[in-house]
Structure 1
Amino acid sequence: MIISRTPFRVPLFGGWTDFPQWYRHHGGAVIGGSINKYCYISLRELPPFFEHKHRIVYSNIEQVHNISEIKHPSVRACLGEMGIETGLEIHHDGDLPARSGLGSSSSFTVGLLNALHAYRGRMASKQELAEEAIRIEQQVIGENVGSQDQVWAAYGGINRIDFLTDGRIEVSPLLVSAERRSMLERNLVLYFTGFTRIASEIEKDKLRNLSSRETHLRTLYAMADEATEILRTEHRSLDEIGRLLHESWMIKRDLSSSVSNKRIDDLYDTALSAGALGGKLLGAGGGGFLLLYVPFAFQTRVHECLKDLISVGFRFDGGSKIVIYEPQLNRTGG
């Protein structure tokens, strides 16, 4: 039995600039971090006594003879790309709902790749996991996704990620004191809006607008620089992060009609009136988790105003890891 544990992520600034269609021409940068909410992938070799060769358990259960028959796009692509020949049983479990803006699809892909490499008897590097996941999601599966989620899932931590025009990706940890990091974690709260969406479908609408939104995207890029300075400068108030989040969210709402809707706008305005300084809808938009920056003194009031929503506190945490490695002694190989 092999089990990988891969974090979900909370992006703060620079979203949209991580699409290769943009950063290959202009460069991009994002600020954010992985959190202590996880995707778990368990993997074991399936004994040859069943009518099916592969069994995949997630929100559905698939029992198939050939990899090409697998409906889950990430499982089909990862097993196919790694040339898996033996029968496998793969289980997925998550701490938070899928398709809710926390990068769960990329966490799944990175976690599965990590488990498959362990099954092969080797430890993949963070860079290797991130690059493999990006290639599989963007080129093999053909999803309309950016390149940040895979990096958060693989590397973990609070980072600035730079996307260079030559395609390289640079990950720079944001070095902040333990006290400052704890204060940031305390003031950031997730609220589940209660509905999910397919990110790739929403991103397709966004990609149509990239070329005509250069001014907006350059502003979002600059906000990543500003956020970097705020976080690294001890004498600056972290409340500036909340106000910057509000500015960023206002810009993103103008980029595409699919980013928000009336219910999300009403929830956001209610939170601001109760003391939140800013926030954003995570992921592609349209639903999922609403991230709010709420100074601790106002959190009780905000919680009361949003009492119909589930709130989730979190800490920033590390990247994908193998938490159980008990290979079968009679494994026939991949």
Structure 2
Amino acid sequence: MRVSFAGGGSDLPGVARDGGGRVVGAAIDVRVRVVVEPFDRGWVRMESASRGPARPAGGPGAAAPQVVTRRRAEPARDDVAFRLIEATLSATGVDDGVALRVETEMSPGAGLGGSASVAVAALFALRASVGDAAAPEELAREAVALERERLGNACGAQDQVFAAFGGLLDLTFDARGCSGVRPLPVGCPDLVPALSAGLLLVDTDVRRVSGEILDRMEVGSASDAKGALVAAAGEVARGFELGSLALVLSGMRRGAAAKMRLSGAASALALSLQERLDGLGVEVLRICGAGGGGHVLVWAPAERHARILDALGPRVVRRPSLGAPGVRLEPA
């Protein structure tokens, strides 16, 4: 999955159409695993399971696996749990005598690009099962088309690129999707460890469908904020190139403020969290993904984390590793 440091929202097609968008971010070590195996001819079996750490009472913890077995000739499932899996089977033509299992380390709606990661991993695994190698840029394009055109989801195009390529990336966008992928040059070897050491991903315990949040967002408001979002992404990229943690954090703060202005409703949980952590030395607090729930990214020097974690109480907090690899095959 991924975190973006700045620019998220400028990759939406209605926003990127006028002058382009830019996102700077990183793939993180929260994974999706897809297993494809032979099954009885004439049948399709699908399984979806999420797992993760123990949750507070009532929180969205690991759920029991959902399993569907159907004849190939029967209509595809249209429920939320299987629509995306069904679309990958149809898009690849690997839809007879196949079992596909999706395992995620995060329940859906976490704001970290999980659905795009599932799409990329499933497309990659299904194509690999019939000897069809796909390049990262092809996988990302196909995954975006799958969500936008086949499923009618409102979505940007950054998540699919981070899932396919991995690493630390500087991405540009136009109305068609991602128009440029550049690995971020890092001017100082100590920068990424220092940035990682201060990062906390705070789970709000609220899961939502990002497309529904984006459908309620006015394109005009996103377009108005785009200049600030793109400028913030540029500042973060310069910080990486110069090896300046201070400049990276400055760009992240600038981008976080611009993103908070996009939608009051989507930002409500983040603003509440900001009030709770006031005075504890948090230097960056930004919405992950479309907002409205999922995760909030917090950055503070590691020596301040103990007080921050005490203030957060029983919430699940993750310390992500930055620059995780993109989609790949693993031995069975």
What is the TM-score of this pair, normalised by structure 2? 0.88
CA spacing shift, 1:212–1:47, aligned 2, 3 Å: closer
1:151 aligns with 2:161: yes
CA spacing shift, 1:201–1:288, aligned 2, 3 Å: same
Instruction: Report the 3-state secondary structure (helix = DSSP H, G, I; strand = E; otherwise coil) of the residue aligned with 2:261.
Output: helix
Instruction: Select which of 269, 276, 298 maps to 1:292.
Output: 298
Match of residue 332 from structure 1: none
Measure how far apart 1:164 and its partner are. Answer: 3.7
Measure how far apart 1:212 and its partner are. Answer: 4.5
Whether the 8 Å contact between 1:13 and 1:223 is mirrored in structure 2 is yes
Instruction: Select which of 18, 32, 36 maps to 1:43.
Output: 36
Superimposed CA distance per residue, residues 153-207 of structure 1 (whole angstroms, 9 cap, x where no aligned partner) = 000001100114675521111121332111111111111111211111101112x
1:166 and 1:45 map into 2 onto residues whose CA distance is 36
1:192 and 1:172 map into 2 onto residues whose CA distance is 29
Q: Percent identity?
A: 26
Whether the 8 Å contact between 1:196 and 1:287 is mirrored in structure 2 is yes
Considering only aligned residues, what root-mean-square deviation do their CA atoms show, in Å?
Answer: 1.8
1:53 aligns with 2:43: yes
Match of residue 210 from structure 1: 219
Runs (4+) of structure 1 exceeding 6 A deviation are: none
CA spacing shift, 1:82–1:211, aligned 2, 3 Å: same
Q: Within 5 Å, which residues of 2 pair with 1:1-334?
A: 8-48=1-41, 53-58=43-48, 59-66=65-72, 68-71=75-78, 72-164=82-174, 169-176=179-186, 177-206=188-217, 209-234=218-243, 236=244, 238-261=245-268, 263-316=269-322, 317-324=324-331
What is the TM-score of this pair, normalised by structure 1? 0.87
Match of residue 54 from structure 2: none
Measure how far apart 1:96 and its partner are. Answer: 2.1
1:22 and 1:293 map into 2 onto residues whose CA distance is 27
1:84 and 1:43 map into 2 onto residues whose CA distance is 10
Whether the 8 Å contact between 1:242 and 1:294 is mirrored in structure 2 is no
CA spacing shift, 1:324–1:258, aligned 2, 3 Å: farther
2:178 and 2:11 map into 1 onto residues whose CA distance is 12
Measure how far apart 1:53 and its partner are. Answer: 0.9
Counterpart AA for 1:265:
L
Whether the 8 Å contact between 1:244 and 1:278 is mirrored in structure 2 is no
Gapped regions of structure 2 (runs ≥ 5): 49-64
Instruction: Report the 3-state secondary structure (helix = DSSP H, G, I; strand = E; otherwise coil) of the residue aligned with 1:98.
Output: coil
1:243 and 1:145 map into 2 onto residues whose CA distance is 27
Counterpart AA for 1:221:
V
Measure how far apart 1:91 and its partner are. Answer: 1.1
